[in-house]
Amino acid sequence: MDAELADRIRQAAIKLYASLERQVRVSRSHIGRAANLSHVVCARSAYPRCNGVRDELAETQWHFCARRYVWTRMQCQDTSSGSKFWLRSGIGYYQFVELHAWFKAKAPAQLPHMREGQIVALLQKHGVNLKWKGRLPTGRRSKPDAPT
């Protein structure tokens, strides 16, 4: 039973990562809700495989921000204003600045229209996996004026 549920959880997580809709953070609880198995959170010892899969497939905050950045960049290819791009991305200012500089150096200027699952594939191509820690110290939380 645990193996079957773990497979359902894995499939739900893969579907969340493959989505072309506005990217949402794929956390342990979000994966459980997507698989309609949120009760597994409360019974960690009863479902060790399920919880192992959820731990394995949950992403870091930085990986989520990178996915959201790529998704926003796909949506706003004609937008030259950095502040409009930042606001549409919905990610923190300092994370946006770091990701913008990082992608400017690593990724192509124009992203092709992507199909399901290609956002994560593009990130993996550039060394950004689900457990990516990013490059910014975590203590910077304040939000200054919008970038220009």
> Do 69 and 120 touch, CB atoms closer than 8 A?
no
Q: Are residues 67 and 47 in the same domain?
A: no
Average pLDDT over residues 96-112: 78
pLDDT at 108: 64
Tell me whether residue 25 is in a domain. yes
Per-residue model confidence as pLDDT tens digits over 4-30: 999 999 999 999 999 989 999 999 999
Q: Are residues 75 and 49 in the same domain?
A: no
Tell me whether residue 136 is in a domain. no
pLDDT at 142: 42
Tell me whether residue 97 is in a domain. yes
Give the C-alpha separation, 89 to 84, whole Å. Answer: 9
Average pLDDT over residues 72-88: 78
Tell me whether residue 108 is in a domain. yes
Tell me whether residue 53 is in a domain. yes
- Identify the burial level of 137 via C-beta atoms within 10 angstroms of its C-beta, where 0-12 means exposed, 13-18 middle and 19 or more buried: exposed
Tell me whether residue 38 is in a domain. yes
Q: Is the pLDDT of residue 139 over 60?
A: no
Domain that holds residue 86: 61-125
Q: Are residues 76 and 48 in the same domain?
A: no
Structural domains of the chain, count:
2
Does this model's pTM top 0.85? My answer is no
